[in-house]
Amino acid sequence: MKKAYLTVYLSLSLGIILSLILALTEAARVNAIRMQIECVTDTACNSVLAEYHRQLLEQYELFYVDTSYGTPNAAYANTVSHLRNYMEHNFSLQDVFSLQNYRDVFKLSTEDISLLSATIATDEQGIGLKRQAVLYMKDKVGLSFAEDIMKNLQTVTEYEIESGKMQKQRQDVEEQLNEMINQKEESLPPETKIIETEEGPKEIQVEQKITRDNPADVVNATRGFSILQLVIKDANAISYQKITPSNYVTGRELHVGSGRQEGMEYPDSLLENIVFHEYILDKCSRYTEILDKSLLKYQTEYIICGKDSDEKNLEGIMNRLLLLREAANALYLMSDSGKMAEIQALSMTLSLICMVPEAEPLVRYSILFAWAYVESIRDVRVLFNKGRVPLMKNSSTWGTGLLQMTQFREKYEDGSGGEGLSYEDYLRIFLCLSNEDKVTMRLMDVMEMDIRQTAGNENFRMDVCMDCFEMLAGINSGYGYEFTIQRKYGYEPTG
């Protein structure tokens, strides 16, 4: 009876123990399935990010996945297909087990994969691209360089030399002076002249005209000329490359992604804008530094002006430089008592010759603005010859004489050396004064132009490049289990 009791007890115990072992084995299988799903999903997401666009990285130090994968057809479905392929391959374990009699104890397969969100380069006027660029430049050059740029920008803002107020004052002076001289001419009695006719000499009455002899009139006559004619010696030396704006980011309808990612910091301060502008100068060409890779040769000028040809962009920058320099030079002349005495002596003489002494103050300022203009033409020539021009001048950096100012078209400056700001420094000022959204979007125009010139990238578009995505996958097991997994991946932790 004792042996029989033990046998029954052992049988019952073995059943319980066996059930426990089987339950633990199945639990281990389920946990192992979950672990494999997580590992395979993480590997697949990292593999997708590893397919970053090589040219974007090589030329611009940016990490983005081109969802067109070099084809004319850009769609999230392409990325989903890549995710599925990576997951199926790793679920199959073919690279791990090659034995014929191996039995897959998981039998996992992907049922459904979808992208819940994706951050595209052009989202919110390129804020994600700007973030990457700023991080890259902070790593490369730091922040100390920005102090001088901020000082220059403060000077421009404080003296309002980019506001156009000085140009408005000049126009007012010219209009008032012309009106005063016209009124004087109308008050003069007619002048009698003798002309020869078929019938013999004949007297006629003509209006008297005042001889002005104002050198400012000679200078002002050139204001209608193209700035390129006044600055560039050889017109054949500049680029006339044109583009079709509708082919690029700022001229076409764009794909839209999910925008900013939660928990990620984006650049929004003046300091970060200055760092971003330094990135532009680091990666883009300009008149004084042409890059072989560039379609438009004056890329930085395009980013500031946004015109469809190198010629127009160069002309736009020259005009802005001329207006800025003219305002700064006029302010200096007003502050220099010696030069103002020269101007006043000439204006008093001209007013007496013209028989309009009451116009002397207007003649004085017309000469002042003309002299500032001539000096500004010289400044722009110096800058385009890789020289330097201080933002605010003094007597030692002033370069033109009052009595020779009508000859400025014949005299070109070599422009080497000098003190003050370089052409690039003035571009930095213009970038700071430009609309940041337009600057970023035009930079992406430039990126498309250049990358499309490389092999296999003829259809490249910035608005299908993503740097962060969130995916959801449904996974089935041959043993009757179903799982879902959600992951968010990007080139930096997204929280």
Does residue 334 lie within any of the structural domains? yes
Same domain for 11 and 99: yes
Q: Which H or E run contains 117?
A: strand 108-120
pLDDT of res. 195? 72
d(CA 130, CA 233): 38
Closest CA to 283 of 21, 56, 9, 491: 56
Does residue 239 lie within any of the structural domains? yes
Same domain for 23 and 75: yes
Same domain for 484 and 441: no
Q: Which H or E run contains 444?
A: helix 436-451
Contact 452, 460 (CB under 8 A): yes
Q: How many domains does the chain have?
A: 2
Tens digits of residue pLDDT in 9-37:
777 788 788 888 877 777 777 787 888 88
206 vs 166: which has the higher pLDDT: 166
Same domain for 118 and 159: no
Burial 312-347, CB ≥16 within 10 A → b, else e: bbbbbbbebbbbbbbbbbbbbbeebeebeebbbebb
d(CA 485, CA 42): 10
DSSP 196-213: EETTEEEEEEE-------
Same domain for 357 and 393: yes
96 pLDDT band, cuts 50/70/90, is: low
Does residue 138 lie within any of the structural domains? no
d(CA 351, CA 214): 9
270 has a pLDDT exceeding 90:
yes
Same domain for 50 and 30: yes
Tens digits of residue pLDDT in 284-306:
999 999 988 889 999 999 999 99
d(CA 284, CA 424): 12
Tell me the β-bridge partners of 115: 471
Cα 462–chain centre separation: 14
Does residue 457 lie within any of the structural domains? no
Closest CA to 276 of 164, 375, 399, 141: 141
Same domain for 161 and 118: no
Q: What's at 358, amino acid-wise?
A: E
pLDDT of res. 343? 93
List phi, psi (to 5°) of 225. -75, 155
Tens digits of residue pLDDT in 185-239:
667 666 666 677 777 676 665 565 666 678 888 898 888 899 998 898 888 889 9
Same domain for 207 and 104: no
pLDDT of res. 208? 58
273 has a pLDDT exceeding 60:
yes
Tens digits of residue pLDDT in 306-349:
999 999 999 999 999 999 999 999 999 999 999 999 999 999 98
Q: Is the pTM of this model over 0.85?
A: yes
Domain that holds residue 112: 2-122+462-490
State the average pLDDT over residues 252-275.
Answer: 90
Cα 27–chain centre separation: 57
pLDDT of res. 249? 96
109 has a pLDDT exceeding 70:
yes
92 has a pLDDT exceeding 90:
no
Does residue 134 lie within any of the structural domains? no
Same domain for 468 and 425: no
Tens digits of residue pLDDT in 47-80:
999 999 999 999 999 999 999 998 888 888 999 9
Does residue 100 lie within any of the structural domains? yes
pLDDT of res. 44? 93
pLDDT of res. 494? 42
The least confident of 279-288, 434-443, 475-484 is 475-484
Does residue 456 lie within any of the structural domains? no
Written as six digits, the tokens of 267 are 């650049």
Same domain for 477 and 359: no
Same domain for 167 and 55: no
Same domain for 52 and 199: no
Does residue 136 lie within any of the structural domains? no
